[in-house]
Structure 1
Amino acid sequence: MRIFVTGATGFVGSAVVQELLGAGHKVLGLARSEEGTASLAAAGVEVHRGSVEDLESLRSGARASDAVIHTAFNHDFSKFKDNCELDRRAIEALGAALAGSDRRLIVTSAMGILPKGILSTEETAPVSGAQAHPRAATEEAAALVASRGVNVSVVRLPPSVHGDGDHAFVPHLIALARQKGVSAYLGEGTNRWPAVHRLDTAQLYRLVLEKGAAGGRYHAVAEEGIPLREIASAIGRRLNVPVGSKSQAEAALHFTWFERFVALDVPASSTRTREQLGWSPRQRGLLSDLEQGRYFDT
């Protein structure tokens, strides 16, 4: 199949591209820059110039493909809510191009939208109402395009998708520990982050493409929930800095905008995902990656 991949040069998207190519699929990769164009071309990917802000470029890429995998997301957290609404519009544009066909649209959601403090499954609905997470816009858009006849599936990613090249939550914890001289967690540090390696994630996207059900929700979870205190302890050990707790009153000053993510307690199961797709994560876990990977090379 010819697959249109948004976010094709990103941390997750680039792994998805390689997984698809290795399985014999052709890839049409979205690129917004000359650098991205060169990177995709060097990987043997057909390039489609555009961006998630350019909705017509999304529609034309989807129309030219047998399926779409949407991994792009703007991670500028200074305008997080705006970026979530941008994701809503992007999904609606992709869906409009696929309506009336059986071509699959796979969208990327996040487990931060799920209820806190319980072990969520693929059937667990996002928190709604006044407490809804801004990123819930992604699954709202997926439901909307599904109601219009689009064959859409959702892959939920955990707070930590780890591996070489990671530039998200765990690297930010490392940077904070370096900057402030302490590897910190919130309260008792018992809140849990599920985790998965990027290469296992890429395999899951391919399996959803090839075997997923219309309307299916899938969890990219290799580890159901790692207490944040254990993550902070591994970071402190590698940096040789103290490990300590921050109270709720101290958290805003220490973690700044990252406080809401440090407080996440969203353990999640992938049992149904594994059973339905035959997915079996094989890469090393997050704590092992912190010990053996390249997180502390710089």
Structure 2
Amino acid sequence: MSSKTPIFFIGATGFIGGSVLQAILAHPKANTFEITALVRAEAKAKALESTLGIKTVIGSLQDYALLTESAEKAHVVFQIADADSEDPMKAILAGLKARFEKTGDKPILIHTSGTALLADDSRGEHTSPTITSDLDLAALARLPASALHHSVDLLVNAADADGYATTYVVLPGIIWGRPAGPLFDGPAPIARGSMVQIPWLAAPYVQRGRPGVVGKGAGRWPNVHIDDNADAFFRLFDAALFDLARVSHGREGYFFVEGGEHGMDEVVRACGEALVGLGLVQEAAPDVFTAEERAKYFGSDMFAFLLFSNARCTGDRLRKEVGWAPKHTTDEFIKSIPKEVEDFAKTLKA
């Protein structure tokens, strides 16, 4: 290895990835890191290089040879761009395996999945009593490979089991809040600066003139502020790089990231009230989406049911192993929704 730790970063211009990259660059030993980011657009690559002073390679997750080559050059790989595509992960793992076999250096992979892998089929009809801890290895082992995101998680686990990489799977809940910093500030931000879930709800509400729910809107999901999420990645990365014995990896290395949980009824109510206040709908109280509306507004029942399902969990491993302590609460999340709706409304006038 060179005098600097080579890091390959995938997802630098995203909502999650941009905030994590900024956190890593604020590490006390950041001057010992050599970061290369995968970027699709040349303009974004130049902006990243000039703003943050990191290297870039131009390409996408479909450039498998480039992924393999770049991963082979790295001691640490962050994958914060796609939780569901197996082929890009196979390409990354091929590079990590080649590095290990050629150099003896055992690389680190930090992969981003999501708590949607816990989503049930309640269809909004009830609140599930099941709350899964990431310390409950038996519960995690029972998850089917068909669970959302999970087939990729299992590829990551297998690399650790095969001994050529040390792997971690990070599973955030619904991420909210507004990140700040060089990637997000200014008139032409480099990275996306807002969550996507509120526009997913607000858009059909405006089109149909009223909020809607699936079933009774009784599902519950974990949530985490974008800064708390970035801190979770930072702490995990720091432990993996400098205090490996302190943190679990492989099959045990699942890390739910949650600062609390919310009911979908709370989110729908806050969204509806904000839309009424903006004069975009007349009625804040929701009714039930029909089957035709689910198809029209969400594309499929699968996505509509997912939004209103239960995915309840506790992120105990981060708290136990790396001392993670989120600073933001669910109450703050609900109070942030009117601002998200207001910004969504501005896009309607653009």
1:146 aligned to which of 135, 141, 160: 160
State the Cα distance separating 1:85 from its structure 2 match.
Answer: 3.0
Structure 2 residue identity aligned to 1:152:
T
Indicate the percent of aligned positions where both proteins have the same amino acid: 25
Residue number in structure 2 paired with 1:276: 321
- Go from structure 1 to structure 2 and tell me whether the alpha carbon gap of 1:175 and 1:247 turns closer, same or farther (over 3 Å shift): closer
Structure 1 residue identity aligned to 2:97:
A
Residue number in structure 2 paired with 1:136: 150
Distance 2:160 2:78 in 1: 15
Distance 2:52 2:96 in 1: 27
The runs of 4+ residues in structure 1 deviating greater than 6 Å are: none
For structure 1, the 5+ residue unaligned runs are 75-82
- Go from structure 1 to structure 2 and tell me whether the alpha carbon gap of 1:97 and 1:8 turns closer, same or farther (over 3 Å shift): farther
Structure 2 residue identity aligned to 1:15:
S
1:111 to 2:148 alignment: no
1:47 aligned to which of 41, 50, 56: 56
Query: Alignment partner of 1:243: what SS?
Result: coil
Structure 2 residue identity aligned to 1:137:
S
Residue number in structure 2 paired with 1:166: 194
State the Cα distance separating 1:63 from its structure 2 match.
Answer: 2.6
Q: CA RMSD in A?
A: 2.3
Residue number in structure 1 paired with 2:342: 296
Question: Are 1:109 and 1:157, in contact at CA under 8 Å, matched by a contact in 2?
Answer: yes
Moved more, 57-66 or 269-278: 57-66
Distance 1:182 1:98 in 2: 55
- Go from structure 1 to structure 2 and tell me whether the alpha carbon gap of 1:39 and 1:227 turns closer, same or farther (over 3 Å shift): same
Distance 1:87 1:154 in 2: 16
Question: How does 1:19-38 map onto structure 2 within 5 Å?
Answer: 19-23=23-27, 24-25=29-30, 26=33, 27-38=35-46
Question: Are 1:115 and 1:127, in contact at CA under 8 Å, matched by a contact in 2?
Answer: no
TM-score, scaled to structure 2: 0.74
State the Cα distance separating 1:98 from its structure 2 match.
Answer: 4.7
Query: Alignment partner of 1:296: what SS?
Result: helix
Distance 2:258 2:155 in 1: 23
Distance 2:98 2:198 in 1: 36
Structure 2 residue identity aligned to 1:173:
L
Question: Are 2:67 and 2:88, in contact at CA under 8 Å, matched by a contact in 1?
Answer: no
Moved more, 89-98 or 148-157: 89-98
Question: Are 1:87 and 1:137, in contact at CA under 8 Å, matched by a contact in 2?
Answer: no
Deviation by residue 1:125-157 (Cα, 9 ceiling, x = unmatched)? 26316xx22421221111221122110011012
Deviation by residue 1:257-278 (Cα, 9 ceiling, x = unmatched)? 3313223210110122212111
1:189 to 2:217 alignment: yes
Distance 1:59 1:141 in 2: 15
For structure 2, the 5+ residue unaligned runs are 121-127, 179-192, 240-246
